[in-house]
Amino acid sequence: MITTSTSAGTIPSIAVTAGSLPEAWEKTVLAVWDNGIDVRTQYDKEGDSPSKDATVMVTVADPFAEPRIHKNFPGGPEELEAYRQEVVSGIHDHWIDPAAGKWTYTYHERLFSYCPVEDIRNPNTPKPFAAFDQMNYIVESLAGCHHTRRAQAITWMPSADPPTDDPPCLQRIWCRLAQDEDSQLVLNMNTHWRSRDLYKAWFMNVYALTDLQKIIADKLAEKISRPVRVGRYVDISDSLHIYGAYFDDAEKEVDKMRNTPFAQRAWDSTHPAFEMMTREAREKLAKDPDWYAKAKG
């Protein structure tokens, strides 16, 4: 289901409901392509068309439903695995070095080791707070009160992020438990994004964040000695966009979405080719976390 709401002079608001991740990506690409407002961005180069942009809420009923992988998202199994590990395991946290002009954060660092600073432009500024594991807080919060509405994690640092060239897109993760008809606990998760590249980033973002959802569910189940099932995932973007610079590639993909069978574009996560490429990526990343970045040049 896709619903849209807009009037003259406003940014469209779009709601998308899908059963799986690849279905959700396709429906959302089509919805923004057809209904997004034409608007410039701070990253446009001379000659780029305005982006297609909308405020979008995507609900994925079962983020681990098969097929779980889209064959045609920009990237591949190796990049997908590297990004997943960057988010859930922190394999690229060592790239954080703002004083040297390198990364100012990773999502993993903000979620698992949030530590505010006064001014990231001054490397000598003392950190006023100890690092805080927000993912552990979510687990402990839900374990202590299954119906709590306070199990959340944030990324934004007002003292550090506004002046940077690439401030965090992901802003917040919110989790809450519910019970199904068999009284089993179900972990529902929402993520809220300031700004988002729909065509090139959305699928990898959601693949990694729903893997984190499963990790939270498994840790909670271990903590309370009771099964916890992964429930629906809701993805909210204030600005979800397809950059004008990508229109040629995106238009070709949109044509495939409209005119070819969905089964030709989706893989089960157990597909032999996907499993093989993912396994090889894990082996290479275990030896060198920077392997994929070096391979890309």
179, pLDDT greater than 60:
yes
What is the rounded CA–CA span in Å between residue 47 and residue 43? 12
Per-residue pLDDT band for 55 (boundaries 50, 70, 90) equals: very high
pLDDT reported for residue 159: 82
C-alpha 158 chain-centroid distance: 21
47, pLDDT greater than 90:
no
pLDDT reported for residue 131: 85
Pairing of strands 152-154, 170-179: antiparallel
289, pLDDT greater than 80:
yes
Which is more confidently placed, 293 or 6? 293
Per-residue pLDDT band for 81 (boundaries 50, 70, 90) equals: very high
Give exposure, 234-259, as e/b (b: 16+ Cβ within 10 Å).
bbbbbbbbbbbbbbeebeebbeebee
pLDDT reported for residue 10: 85
Rounded alpha-carbon distances, angstroms, from residue 169 to 173, 201, 236: 12, 11, 11
224, pLDDT greater than 90:
yes
267, pLDDT greater than 60:
yes
Residues 6+ apart with CB under 8 A from 101: none
Please tell me the total count of domains within the chain.
1
Q: Which two tokens stand for residue 98?
A: 């703002």
pLDDT reported for residue 126: 61
Nearest Cα to Cα of residue 17 among 76, 58, 77, 72: 58
Q: Which two tokens stand for residue 259?
A: 């005119």
Q: Are 59 and 51 in contact (CB under 8 A)?
A: no
What is the rounded CA–CA span in Å between residue 195 and residue 201? 11
Q: Are 23 and 69 in contact (CB under 8 A)?
A: no
Whole-model pTM: value is: 0.93
Nearest Cα to Cα of residue 237 among 209, 269, 216: 209
Maximum mean pLDDT: which of 2-11, 156-165, 193-202: 193-202
DSSP 114: B
Average pLDDT over residues 45-61: 92
For residue 29, the SS3 value is helix
Domain at 285, CATH number = 3.30.572.10
59: left (phi over 0), alpha (psi -120 to 50) or beta: beta
Per-residue pLDDT band for 127 (boundaries 50, 70, 90) equals: low
**Domain residues for 34?**
2-296
Per-residue pLDDT band for 128 (boundaries 50, 70, 90) equals: low
Residues 6+ apart with CB under 8 A from 63: 20, 21, 206, 210, 213, 230, 232, 233
1, pLDDT greater than 60:
no
